[in-house]
Amino acid sequence: MTERVDLEEPAAPGIELPQAPGGGPVVQEPLWRIRLRLLWKASRRNWRLFARNKIGLVGLGIILTFAVVALIHPVLMDRVWDPAIYHPVKGYDAPVAEYTVVEEVTDEFSELTLQEAQIRSNPFVRVGDVLSIAQQPAPPSRTHWLGTDPLGRDVLSQLMFSTRAAFLLGGIAAFVTVFIATTVGSIAAYYGGWIDSALMRFADLVLLVPLIPVLIVVGALFSLTLPLLGVLIGVLSGFGGTAIVLKSQALSVTVKPFVDAARVAGGSNRHIIFRHIIPNVVPLSFLYMMFTVTEAISLEATLSFLGLMNVQMSWGLMINVAHSQGYLLSGTSFWWLLIPAGMAVTLLAAAFFLAGRAMDEVVNPRLRRR
């Protein structure tokens, strides 16, 4: 794109330009500054298009909020929170709460029936006694804003810690996907012939792979860490569906006149692919980055919910702990065990999806509102 727009860009007014022998102005500004300025202009225009979609802005806002949360956590652990209590994996705290033993419970956070008090404290309590019982899991309080989990660990800290992991995973998966998909798509579109059909048949195959069952088996055979999972998702998505979409985009680029011009000017195949085709495919690939992140986040959460991931802490694992310790059917009285983690996965995945759809309107002019 850049090569072509250089010529369309008029020089800044008010500057006397030296004349070239042919009569046209000679641009003395270094090339990188022109490119930077064009980039700035293009991104401002794209931002205006993006900002028209309010839902997309909401998505972007949620992503930024999560990003801030992820960045704050290490600082909090370092400066504010005591690691012995607040560490997401190793921390432990069981806040003591006072309970009155009564005949009939009206407030379940400060009263206990006689029978339950005998089980949880000692068999000799009587109605009217006030007991101090360590709570585990503890409800939200001033020290633990989202309570503690069944093992006495701070839920908020776990939530924030897992955010970083989600971004890391999403980033790796998205980067690998886009890297592979743009390369594969551009090469298939540029060369055509048997290279094209081989790569596309392979993409068909990868598209067919039932991802979750395969990852379940891979998780059983190997130790699935976050970076490994990210690379796996990236490879499967990059050789599969994303490659097919990007190939069709690359195909529409290869028939443009500037590709012919580059070839006539003596550009090698590699030069044309990397300098002319890929830069024009990349905007669309950013879109698929977004969708890959959505997929990666929910896949990781699913796998760690099933207990097949080798991670210290993640949203799926938090739900797994709450579920396996039997807090599912206790309903809303232990809401902080299930709701925050599930909401976090859903919100972040939805945010990337919504931002992706808003971006879709930027890169696909056909979708813009009439």
Partner 1 sequence: MVKFISKRLVQMFLLFVIFLTVLFFLLEAQPGDLSQQYIGNPDIPPEAKAILAERLGLDQPLWGRYMSYMRNFFTGDLGVALSQYPTSVSSLIVERLPRTLVLFLSATLLAYYLGFVTGKVLAWRRGKATEYMLTLGGVGLYTVFYPWFALLMIWGLGFTLSNWLGLRVFPIGRFIDTNEWTGGPFTTNQVFSRMIWVAALSMIAAAVITFVARRRLEYPVAIRVRNYAFLGGVILPFAYFVFVASDMRPYALDILQHTMLPVLTLTLVAFAGIMLLTRSSMLETLREDYILTARAKGLSEKVIRDKHAARNALLPVVTSLVLALAFVISGGIITETIFSWPGIGRLLFDAVILEDIPLAMGALSIIAVLALIGHLIADILYMYLDPRIRYQ
Instruction: Cite the beta strand spans of the chain per DSSP E.
Output: 96-102, 111-113, 130-134
DSSP 8-state secondary structure symbol assigned to residue 277 = I
Q: Is beta strand 111-113 parallel, antiparallel or unpaired with respect to 96-102?
A: parallel
> What DSSP character marks residue 109?
T
Size (the chain), residues: 370
Q: What is the C-alpha separation between 32 and 61, in angstroms, rounded?
A: 32
Going by C-alpha positions, the residue among 76, 64, 61 that lies closest to residue 145 is 76
Q: Which residues contact partner 1 (rule: CB under 8 A)?
A: 55, 201, 204-205, 207-214, 216-222, 241, 294, 298, 301-302, 305-308, 315-316, 319, 323, 328-329, 331, 338, 341-342, 345-346, 349-350, 353-354, 366-367, 370
Non-local CB neighbours of 348 within 8 Å, separated by 6+ positions = 62, 63, 66, 163, 166, 297
Q: State which residue, 101 or 344, has the beta carbon closest to partner 1.
A: 344
Measured from the CB atom, the residue of 186 and 320 that comes closer to partner 1 is 320
237 half-sphere exposure, CB direction, 13 A CA radius: 27
- Residue 298 CB, shortest distance to partner 1, in Å, is 6
Q: How far is the CB of 176 from partner 1 (least distance, A)?
A: 19
Kindly tell me which of 91 and 340 has the beta carbon lying closer to partner 1: 340
Residue with Cβ nearer partner 1 (220 or 255): 220
Shortest Å distance, C-beta 128 to partner 1: 31
The position carrying tokens 């499967």 is: 236
The two three-digit tokens of residue 253, written as one number: 């680029």
Which of 287, 270, 278 has its CA nearest to residue 253? 278
- CA atoms of 274 and 262, how far apart (whole Å): 12
Token representation of residue 5? 């727009």
Nearer to partner 1, 168 or 347 (CB): 347
Least Å distance between CB 303 and partner 1?
Answer: 10
The CB-of-79 to partner 1 minimum distance in angstroms stands at 32
Residue number with CB closer to partner 1 (36 or 328): 328
Look at residues 215, 204, 208, 245 and name the one whose alpha carbon lies nearest to residue 360: 245
Whole-number minimum distance, CB 356 to partner 1, in Å?
Answer: 11
Shortest reach from residue 19's CB to partner 1, in Å: 49
**How far apart are alpha carbons 28 and 155 in whole angstroms?**
59
Could you give the CA distance from residue 245 to residue 363 in angstroms, rounded to a whole number? 13
Is the Cα dihedral 244, 249, 255, 261 positive or negative?
negative
175 or 353, CB closer to partner 1?
A: 353
> What single letter denotes the amino acid at residue 245?
V
Q: What is the closest distance, in whole angstroms, from the C-beta atom of residue 171 to partner 1 in the complex?
A: 19
3-state secondary structure of 137: coil
Residue closer to partner 1 (CB basis): 49 or 350: 350
Considering the complex, state which of residue 1 and residue 200 has its C-beta at the smaller distance from partner 1: 200
Nearest approach in angstroms of CB 35 to partner 1 is: 35
Q: With 0-12 CB in 10 A as exposed, 13-18 as middle and 19+ as buried, what is 113?
A: middle
Nearer to partner 1, 32 or 194 (CB): 194
The nearest distance, CB 346 to partner 1, in angstroms, is: 5
